[in-house]
A = this chain, B = another copy of it.
Amino acid sequence: MAIIECVPNISEGVRGDVVAGIAAALTAVPGLRVLDVQSDATHNRSVLTLAGDAAAFRQGIPLLFERSLAVIDLRTQRGEHPRLGAVDVVPFIPIDGVTMADCVALAKEIASDVASKFALPVFLYEDAASSPARKNLEDIRRGEFEGLAEKMRKPEWAPDFGPAAPHASAGASVIGARMPLIAYNINLATDRLDVAKKIATAIRMSSGGLRFVKAMGLALEDRPVVQVSMNLTNYEKTPIFRVFDLVQREAARYGVQVLESEIVGLVPQAALVQAAEYYLQLEGFSGRQVLENRLRDA
Contacts and interface: CB of A to CB of B under 8 A. Distances in A.
Contact of A261 (B240, B272, B281): B281
Contact of A240 (B51, B95, B280): B280
A217 B5 CA distance: 46
How many copies make up the complex? 2
Interface in A220-271: 240-241, 244, 258-263, 265-269
Contacts of A267: 289-291
A282 B295 contact: no
A154 interface: no
Q: How large is the interface on A (under 10, 10 to 19, 20 to 34, 35 or more residues)?
A: 35 or more
Contact of A262 (B5, B33, B262, B282): B282
Contacts of A290: 266-269, 272
A282 B261 contact: yes
A261 to B, nearest CB: 5
Contacts of A292: 3, 95-96, 268-269, 292-293, 296
A132 to B, nearest CB: 29
A162 interface: no
Contacts of A95: 291-292, 295
A253 to B, nearest CB: 18
Contacts of A298: 33-35, 51
Given A95-B291, A272-B272, 15 more contacts: A3-B295, A35-B295, A51-B298, A95-B295, A241-B280, A260-B282, A261-B281, A268-B290, A268-B292, A269-B291, A275-B280, A276-B279, A292-B292, A292-B296, A296-B296
28 contacts: A3-B292, A34-B298, A35-B294, A35-B295, A36-B294, A51-B298, A95-B292, A96-B292, A240-B280, A259-B281, A260-B281, A260-B283, A261-B283, A262-B284, A263-B282, A263-B285, A266-B291, A267-B290, A268-B290, A268-B292, A269-B269, A269-B291, A272-B276, A273-B276, A275-B279, A292-B292, A292-B293, A292-B296
